[in-house]
Structure 1
């Protein structure tokens, strides 16, 4: 199965990442399908229908347990995909239900930083994460890595990643039922990070570096690795789990924890205290709801924000690096001030104009001539540098100091 990801239409994201400074970009790993930040999965999520063009892609808006229970028959074959840091909403009962479906011939593809103990025990594998104590974006940025695929078409072909690649790999596997499909370089030794575990009539694909599916790597020439990973998924309907909701039936952890109200209602004396307190609160609100004199609002005088506005506009032009626009405005302001202050016509900047301007402004003829010739030259240009802008500004300020 061959996939093609159309990265061209996502090039604006790449431009955006390069233009926005690091302190304004959210570099946290969120793996959210609706998030366009570097480490969201917006691109691969929206390309899923093209990646699996022969299959029907269903985006789960309910827990996988609830979906399988209501919509999937025991003889239906599906392909389940989950790309997250940890699939914490896939609890023990939901995972058991999913593995039972895999036994009947379905496929599960999970790319996670952390696998649950129940999944490890069920499929007989363990993992080792040498960077499990690293969480901050600044520290993760330093973690580069090299990944490999064991397929003969890609064997020994390195896939280089420049950040957020944890040394996370499978430490122990059941070799009778497991095939190593990919590895990661850990201190010069190739360790398995992508495996296929045969489970009944189906298979479970496990991958330890979900960051490879994020927008950052999709836009930096590493989409081929993701295409190769997905090529192992057989034909069939795709269930893409965005981990939106917990199960309505299996998530009983919160039910086991008694709420404070349940504790109060479990003791008669506390129950009466609760009801008396609520009744007293209602009486207080009832008698205190009468109309009261409104507080006289303090109206602050309008502030002169001219300087702040000028700074804002200047910063805008500076950020856009539109030096030509600023040069034109400086020249327009200069000529307007000449007309207003010295009553000189500025339509023709000839030698007579220069002599008259030098005489009325008390500037020497040479410097005045140099200034006007500079203005004429800059007017003819289509682009200007920041150096030319600064030189023009200094010349104009020096001219008016006379």
Structure 2
């Protein structure tokens, strides 16, 4: 009996070990926001969807995987009823709005929680979804309800969302503000349209598993949905999962259904097996490639910086940023950075060549940061922007 090829045995053992390790190792948490009602990940909506029948006082909540136009045209709906959308982007074309607006006008209700809304809908209802620059992010910004009976004394903080976006009211006579952020900007409104109502909310992450199951924010979604009357309610999944169900979306299922693609699939598998058998045998010694040594100092600094930023240690990172910047000033201009006074500002402006106003503003930010007890993400971004601007203004600064 011929002796088995040791390289094939090593290959098979390695593949088997890899498969077993991958199968049994704990899967990392998926933080991707899907808003899907069948996702148990932090930013899915399975928890809320399973609790919805109790909220709306009905045995079950039907889901729809049809576009708005098709659903309102082809489905026999209860009258009146509620239509709920919780998604990242609400996409509704002209044909969809031609059906959605009359649906509400007849006395039905639509609840939409999303970041991005079409301008066409906003123009009709009298508001605009204001999407702010990401540099204005503030992860500490709190939300709250206007109704005293629903308000929470400390407000609601959704730390995975910076809360910088808000709704701009264009027609206040037909709009009721139901929720605001800490800057008094509207984030949840009710728009009376005909006999029905639109409820527009711009923080869909508040309805995900993470916040519905967190004691600090668990009641927020239920309070927001309590504005909907207890009527037959339909839950949209088309905006998140598309029109077809999981089986219909399977690429493998489509490949097996097509004769040409099916043969191509078997040929690929057969070719891979032949390659593993015949090409796996070593024919000559591999000459290793010796890479020249690289300077990894900059990569190390960037990695440490990202680690601080992703851990949310903005205060520590901001203070180190100030220390390194002042050290650069001492080394380059022989300045005494112990006292950031008027004399220091004038000397810095003269030696660096920047304007006195720019030097004054930079020093003001540095003094303010040093005196602060705790620095937020917004403070870190503002300080970094000012330092980078100074470096660009001063010729030769590195």
TM-score computed with the length of structure 1 as normaliser: 0.51
Q: Which residue of the other structure, out of 261, 268, 278, is the alignment partner of 1:298?
A: 278
Q: CA deviation at 1:210?
A: 0.4
Q: Which residue of the other structure, out of 158, 163, 180, is the alignment partner of 1:166?
A: 163
Q: CA deviation at 1:101?
A: 0.6
CA distance in structure 1 between the aligned counterparts of 2:110 and 2:274, rounded to whole angstroms: 63
Q: Judge conservation of contact 2:69–2:100 (CA < 8 Å) in 1.
A: yes
Q: Judge conservation of contact 2:64–2:237 (CA < 8 Å) in 1.
A: yes
Instruction: Indicate yes or no: 2:22 matched with 1:25.
Output: no
CA distance in structure 1 between the aligned counterparts of 2:222 and 2:162, rounded to whole angstroms: 18
Q: Judge conservation of contact 2:150–2:223 (CA < 8 Å) in 1.
A: no
1:219-298 to 2 correspondence within 5 Å? 219-221=213-215, 222-243=217-238, 244-245=241-242, 297-298=277-278
Secondary structure of the 2:242 match is: coil
Q: Which runs of 5+ in 2 are unaligned?
A: 1-24, 245-263, 265-272, 282-398
Q: Which residue of the other structure, out of 29, 33, 55, is the alignment partner of 1:51?
A: 55
Q: CA deviation at 1:38?
A: 1.2
Instruction: Indicate yes or no: 2:82 matched with 1:87.
Output: no
Structure 2 counterpart of 1:259: none
CA distance in structure 1 between the aligned counterparts of 2:227 and 2:59, rounded to whole angstroms: 14
Structure 2 counterpart of 1:322: none
Q: Deviations over 1:202-236 (max 9, x none)?
A: 00000000010111112221110111001000121
**CA distance 1:239–1:214, change in 2 (3 Å):** same
Structure 1 counterpart of 2:112: 110
Q: CA deviation at 1:178?
A: 0.3
Q: Judge conservation of contact 2:143–2:179 (CA < 8 Å) in 1.
A: yes
Q: Judge conservation of contact 2:55–2:226 (CA < 8 Å) in 1.
A: no
Q: Judge conservation of contact 1:167–1:184 (CA < 8 Å) in 2.
A: no
Q: CA deviation at 1:127?
A: 2.2
Secondary structure of the 2:122 match is: helix
CA distance in structure 1 between the aligned counterparts of 2:225 and 2:28, rounded to whole angstroms: 33
Instruction: Indicate yes or no: 2:145 matched with 1:149.
Output: yes
Computing the radius of gyration from Cα coordinates, the structure with the larger value is: 1
Q: Judge conservation of contact 1:130–1:166 (CA < 8 Å) in 2.
A: no
CA distance in structure 1 between the aligned counterparts of 2:230 and 2:59, rounded to whole angstroms: 6
**CA distance 1:93–1:155, change in 2 (3 Å):** same
Q: CA deviation at 1:196?
A: 0.1
Structure 2 counterpart of 1:61: 65
Structure 2 counterpart of 1:77: 80
Q: CA deviation at 1:159?
A: 1.7
Q: CA deviation at 1:172?
A: 2.4
**CA distance 1:126–1:81, change in 2 (3 Å):** same
1:367-378 to 2 correspondence within 5 Å? none
**CA distance 1:170–1:178, change in 2 (3 Å):** same
Secondary structure of the 1:62 match is: coil
Q: Judge conservation of contact 2:40–2:46 (CA < 8 Å) in 1.
A: yes
Q: CA deviation at 1:37?
A: 1.5
Q: CA deviation at 1:179?
A: 0.2
Instruction: Kindly report structure 1 stretches of 4+ aligned residues shifted beyond 6 Å.
Output: none
Structure 1 counterpart of 2:196: 202
Question: How many residues were matched structurally?
Answer: 227
CA distance in structure 2 between the aligned counterparts of 1:69 and 1:28, rounded to whole angstroms: 33
Q: CA deviation at 1:25?
A: 2.1
More divergent stretch after superposition (113-122 vs 40-49): 40-49
Q: CA deviation at 1:160?
A: 2.4
Q: Judge conservation of contact 2:176–2:190 (CA < 8 Å) in 1.
A: yes
Structure 1 counterpart of 2:208: 214
Structure 2 counterpart of 1:311: none
TM-score computed with the length of structure 2 as normaliser: 0.52
Normalized per residue, the structure richer in helix is 2
Structure 2 counterpart of 1:16: none
Q: Deviations over 1:314-347 (max 9, x none)?
A: xxxxxxxxxxxxxxxxxxxxxxxxxxxxxxxxxx
CA distance in structure 2 between the aligned counterparts of 1:50 and 1:63, rounded to whole angstroms: 26
1:95-106 to 2 correspondence within 5 Å? 95-106=97-108
**CA distance 1:165–1:96, change in 2 (3 Å):** farther
